[in-house]
Amino acid sequence: MTPGEMFRRTAGNRRTIAESNRTPNIVDPSPERITFLFQAGTSRAGPEFAVKHAEAIFVSSHLMAEVAPKTFAMRKLAAERGRNPRSIKLFSTFSPILGLTDEEAQAKIANLKKYTIGWLVIISG
């Protein structure tokens, strides 16, 4: 891609944060002339924003058993807000800790716990 192929785009003609920032964007707009919106994060306000505006939502958890209920809750909220629940694509993240044995996996978990604060700093930006 050449610099001439980069465009300065905003979300439609609405006044938005993106409009005031005027940041370069190389993503082609949808036929509706807006960029595909991914929603990441499940803060208290996040799901409400996501089911109203997002085309895709990241649903994450440290426990596999929590992913399905979170996904169900997002689809239920979308339906309650008048949106087709299947119109939103949901992506889940899960980071398993694997070992050849349970003991090896538990040792890896114990080692990773030593770096929790550093990891929180990295993912917090």
Q: Are residues 39 and 54 in the same domain?
A: yes
Number of domains in the chain: 2
Q: What is the pTM of this model?
A: 0.55
Q: What is the pLDDT of residue 86?
A: 92
Nearest Cα neighbor of 40 from 75, 101, 91, 96 is 91
Which residues constitute the domain of residue 103?
97-125
Q: What's the average model confidence in pLDDT over 62-90?
A: 89
pLDDT digits (tens, 9 = 90+) for 37-74: 888 766 778 888 888 888 899 887 767 788 889 899 99
52 lies in the same domain as 33: yes
Structure tokens at 22: 């005027």
Q: Are residues 88 and 115 in the same domain?
A: no
Is 56 found in the same domain as 7? yes
